[in-house]
Amino acid sequence: MAENSKTTTSGINVLILIIKNWKLLLSVALLSAVVAFFFSTPIFIKPKYKSSVVMFSTSSNAVSQLILAEGNYNEFLDITQFGTDAHIEQMIQVLNSRDIKDHIIEKFNLTSHYGIDTNKKHWKSKLYKYVKNNIQFKRTDNLAVEIVVEDTDPKLAAEIANEIADYYDMLKRQIVQQRSIEAFHILQEEMKLTDQLVMSLTDSLSRVMSYGVYDYESQSERLMQQYAIELVKGNTAGVNRIKEELMILEKYGPIYVSVRDRLFYLKEAQKLYQEKYQNARVDASYTLPQKFVVEKAVPSDKKSYPKKLLIAIVTSICVSLFTFFLLIFKENINQYFTEINHQLRKKE
């Protein structure tokens, strides 16, 4: 009960203090709002303008997958399909790369634009901090990526946003094509090696066949049948002739089988390499757009920073609260000294 009574008394005292000083609090609030509004004007703070590009990632990077793919329709290989979550994450990762930042800094001379003194220590860190604060990449709810650029020059903000989108496309194409070119060269070497092996084994097979070994399995079966027949007939000359043929078959047959089987697998590999070679050649020669731009950046005619009204309201509230706490502090001090004086008088 005592605590509730004390809380109620404190609340009443606060209310009385507000009523007693409402003119002062209102004056402070209005004055601070006016001052904050004034100091947030272009005279003191340069306004910034925001421009943005909205684009989607593609679902496939390889041209060969789109124009040479066989079989039923696959939406993941469709050139008109947008990218998935993984493609969006890859896009944001590339957009945040140092290559894009350096390109934008150089193309638009942002070092001079941001007033960075290159003679000072850590000027590069300061420059990249400016770039990071003024250029943002956001993922939207619709699996798109928004490039947001803020700058004191609305035209420059739009140009930077559009340039980032275009340079991303060029950079991603270079990455994809470089990998395709490397794969193409590897396949070329593998095909040359396979062709050489096929030629070598073909020559070896021809030499083996020159000894009369054409089909080891069927020849063995046929000769064994003939051997049995001649043996039953008692044809010694025929038996000896077949024995000689069987000895040749026994000597060169395993070599024939080994070379033939290896040659078969190499020819199958040749077919596979030929298919892959065609795909790699197409991917190394051509590239597709790596983005779908649905909204290009245009110069904004509305300031995005500073938000003068918000600054004025927040400043007004903060200053009013600070003033109110000062009044409470003053009231407590006065009450403290009043109680001390009252106690001193009692002692007298």
How would you write the pLDDT of the chain (348 residues) with one tens digit per residue? 445 544 555 667 677 777 777 787 788 888 887 877 776 666 666 888 999 999 998 876 565 655 555 544 444 444 456 667 788 888 999 999 999 999 999 999 999 999 999 998 889 999 999 999 999 999 988 888 999 999 989 999 999 999 999 999 999 888 888 888 888 888 888 889 988 998 988 888 888 777 777 776 777 777 777 767 777 777 777 777 777 777 777 777 788 788 888 988 888 888 888 888 888 888 777 777 788 888 999 998 888 766 767 777 888 888 888 888 888 787 777 776 677 766 666 665
Same domain, 118 and 202: no
Domain-embedded: residue 329:
no
In angstroms, how far is the first alpha carbon of the chain from the final one?
A: 35
> Does 10 fall in a domain?
no
Helix (H) or strand (E) holding 320: helix 308-347
d(CA 36, CA 209): 100
- What is the amino acid identity at position 291? K
Same domain, 94 and 167: yes
Q: Are residue 120 and residue 162 in the same domain, yes or no?
A: yes
Angle at 334 between CA 332 and CA 335, to 5 degrees: 65
Q: What is the DSSP string of 176-205?
A: HHHHHHHHHHHHHHHHHHHHHHHHHHHHHH
Residues 158, 270, single domain; the answer is no
Q: Would 7 be classed as within a structural domain?
A: no
DSSP state of 119: T
Last residue of a domain, one of 267, 285, 303: 285
Where a domain ends, among 242, 264, 285?
Answer: 285
Give the integer Cα–Cα distance in Å for 325 and 13: 13
* Helix boundaries (H) for 108-153: 110-113, 123-134
Pair (130, 229) in one structural domain: no
Claim to verify: residue 82 and residue 199 sit in the same structural domain: no
Same domain, 28 and 143: yes
Pair (257, 174) in one structural domain: no
| 110: in domain | yes
- What 3-state class would DSSP assign to 145? strand
Question: What is the predicted pLDDT for the residue at 109?
Answer: 94
190 touches 272 (CB < 8 A): no
Q: Which residue has the tokens 């003191």?
A: 44
Measured in whole angstroms, how far is the alpha carbon of residue 312 from the centre of its chain?
40
- Copy the structure tokens of residue 303: 């300031």
Range of the domain at 237: 186-285
280 domain residue, yes or no: yes
pTM beyond 0.75: the answer is: no
Last residue of a domain, one of 285, 303, 332: 285
- DSSP code string of 1-13: -HHHHHHHHHHHH
336 located within any domain: no
Check whether residue 57 and residue 136 sit in a common domain: yes
The DSSP 8-state label assigned to residue 301 in this structure reads S
Same domain, 237 and 264: yes
223: Cα separation from own chain's centroid: 68
Residue 5 lies in a domain: no
Q: How many domains does the chain have?
A: 2
Domain presence at residue 81: yes
> How distant, in Å, are the alpha carbons of 17, 98, 137, 171, 264 from that of 102?
59, 6, 16, 13, 53
Residue 136: strand, helix, or coil: strand
Token pair recorded at residue 135: 């250029």
Distance separating alpha carbons of residues 337 and 253, to the nearest angstrom: 120
Element housing 344 (H / E): helix 308-347
Is 109 in the same domain as 221? no
Residues 93 and 226 in one domain: no
Helix or strand or coil: residue 22? helix
3-state secondary structure of 291: strand
